Chain A
C-alpha cells in the first residue's frame, strides 16, 4: 500500500490526539485507525499507523493493555503523552 502524504511526525501527533480523547477508555487498532483517518482526512494505512504508534510506544507516550476476554490489544495515552500534547 502507498504511503500517505502525512509526514511521520504529524502522524505521531495524531496518534496521541486520538488516544487523548476519552483517555480513560482503551482504543483497539481498528478504532485508532478510524479516528486517525478522521483527524487527517483519510489515506492512512495500517503499516503507517503501526510505525507511528510504535514510535510513541517506545517513547512512553502511549501504552497497551491486552483485553483478556477478547485477546484484543487496547491502546491508552500515558501521563507523559498527555503532557507532550500540551506542547
Chain B
C-alpha cells in the first residue's frame, strides 16, 4: 500500500499550536531575545520537529504564519464579542452570526471596541423592524384594497337588484299585458337578473 508523504509546508502548518508559537518567537523574540535567521531555523527544525525544510519553504511558512496569527486574533476577538452579545436576550442567534461575519470582514473597525459590534447588531435589529413594519403596512394596504373591491361588488349587486325590482314593478303594473304575459315577462327579467337568460 502506498502512502502520500505530506508536503514539508503542510507538515509545518499542521504542527501543534505550541510549536507554531515557538517558531513565531524564533523570528519575533520578546524583548532582549535573539532573533534567529531563516538559515538557523532551517537547521533547527529537523532536530526539533523531525521535518526537513528548504529555505524557500520556510520563507513561505513564515508568510503563512503571519497571516494566520492575524486572522486567528481577529477570529478570537469576534468570537469573544459574539459570546458577550449572546447574553442579550433580545438578540437572536442569526443576528449574532450575521454581525460576526460582517465584523470579521471589516478590518478597519477591529479595535477591541465591543460598542461597534453591539451598534451593528442594534442597527440590524432596527432594519429588521423597519422591514417588518413595511411588510405589515403592505398587508394592511392589501386588506383595504380587498375591502374596497368587496364594497364595490356589494354596491353593484344592490344596484342590479334595485334595477330588477323596478323593472318587475313596471311589468306588474302594466295593464296592457295579460297576467300570463306579465308572468312570462317577470320570469324573463329574473332570468336576465340571475344571468340565466339564453342568448
Contacts and interface: CB of A to CB of B under 8 A. Distances in A.
A69 B104 CA distance: 16
A21 interface: yes
A25 B75 contact: yes
Contact of A41 (B63, B75, B104): B63
A1 interface: no
Given A17-B64, A22-B72, A38-B63, A31 B105 contact: yes
Contacts of B6: 86-87
B14 interface: yes
Interface bracket on A: 20 to 34
A22 B71 contact: yes
A41 B59 CA distance: 10
Interface of B: 4, 6-7, 10, 13-14, 60, 63-64, 66-68, 71-72, 74-75, 78, 98, 100-101, 104-105
Given A39-B63, A67-B101, A87-B10, 20 more contacts: A17-B64, A18-B67, A21-B67, A21-B71, A22-B72, A22-B75, A24-B75, A25-B78, A25-B104, A25-B105, A26-B101, A35-B71, A38-B67, A39-B60, A74-B101, A85-B10, A85-B14, A86-B6, A86-B10, A87-B4
